[in-house]
A and B are shown apart, each in its own frame.
Chain A
Amino acid sequence: MKQIIILIVTIQIIFFFPLQAILDKQNHYKMTNATTIVFTHAQKARIEGRFTPEIKTKMLEELAKYFPRDEIEYTLTEIPKYRLPHYDEGEKIHFEVIVPIKKLLVLGNFWGISNEENKLGYKIDGVVSSELLPR
């Protein structure tokens, strides 16, 4: 019995390292993709002067390939911003998107880490200038 318990614990420790390396890769892959998706759609928003409902929906669809859609939080500039002939602090398009990373550490329960503590909201926020000319 003692040997079985030691075997189980040893296997968990041995498997932790490769599994954690794989999980890290997956998480970083998702986070990098999320960054690229958000900035790509920010480019589209620059043309329109804001995040239109179509751009927002398309961005969420793309993000939903990697994250549960109903858990993605976002704050986006939805009123038009313009490219004026001079600098204006207010005429910029803001975006803030938070995507959920559900698991940071493999075998979390084995190490005594609850599911609540073992997750992260990865924030992608920024600001871009508008290309929309005032009518």
Chain B
Amino acid sequence: MMYIFMFIASFIMNMTFLIDSFDFNAHNQHVVHLGHVAEETAAASIQFIEENDYAEGVKIFKYEQGIMQANAILATNLNADIDSVQGNWDYDSRTYTATIEPLAGNYIKDTIKYTITFFDDSNTSYPVLYQNGSFTHAIGDPTAVVIIDTGKPRYRSTFVPKNTKLGAAQTWQAR
């Protein structure tokens, strides 16, 4: 009888280890992917610049166009529903805050929250140090910073880590 209990206990312990190890690997994989997506989203949001201002030497982003591009890039790369985007633009802080719902079959299970903050000649005297949680970036030229929060990772154990949150920044360069 004791052997049966020992076998069951050993089986449960091993399965717990295996499942947690799998979840850890899957989460790491998600973080790497999310890093790439954050970079691409930031790059997309600085694609467009006001030509008339630029002709006068002032670099100001086309916010609305950049946000549209960023939304499209983020939704496709994170397999989320572009029609579910709910965004709020605050002109004073040049910050766009939005949420988007992941599609079925996605690693992400919670609502994705993201912010895009623009730093350009209309609101910034460089240099500026941007800080948000563990993401810190020194800004010396017109830049967009993207922070994406994909919610709780898919851990089946009770020791669920905090939300997965990553940041990326891209600086506009004249050509």
Contacts and interface: CB of A to CB of B under 8 A. Distances in A.
Interface string A58-88: 0000000000000000000000000101110
Given A28-B28, A83-B47, A87-B48, A129 B40 contact: yes
Contact of B32 (A36, A46, A133): A36
A129 B71 CA distance: 12
A9 B90 CA distance: 65
A32 B76 contact: no
Nearest to B68: A87
- Name B's interface SS: helix
Interface string B79-120: 000000000000000000000000000000000000000000
- Name A's interface SS: helix
A28 B26 contact: yes
B125 interface: no
Given A86-B48, A92-B73, A128-B40, 8 more contacts: A21-B18, A21-B21, A39-B40, A87-B69, A126-B37, A128-B44, A129-B44, A129-B47
Tell which of B32, B37, B68 has the most Cβ of chain A within 10 Å: B32
A116 interface: no
A112 B15 CA distance: 19
A129 B66 CA distance: 11
A35 interface: yes
22 contacts: A17-B14, A17-B17, A24-B25, A25-B21, A25-B25, A28-B25, A28-B26, A28-B28, A28-B29, A31-B29, A32-B29, A35-B32, A35-B33, A36-B32, A39-B36, A86-B65, A87-B48, A87-B65, A126-B36, A126-B37, A126-B40, A127-B76
B47 to A, nearest CB: 6
Contacts, number: 65
Interface residues of A, number: 24
Given A39-B36, A86-B48, A87-B68, A127 B77 contact: yes
Contacts of B40: 39, 42, 126, 128-129
Interface in B34-71: 36-37, 40, 43-44, 47-48, 51, 62, 65, 68-69
Contacts of B37: 126
Interface string A105-135: 0000000000000000000001111000100
Contacts of A28: 25-26, 28-29
B126 interface: no
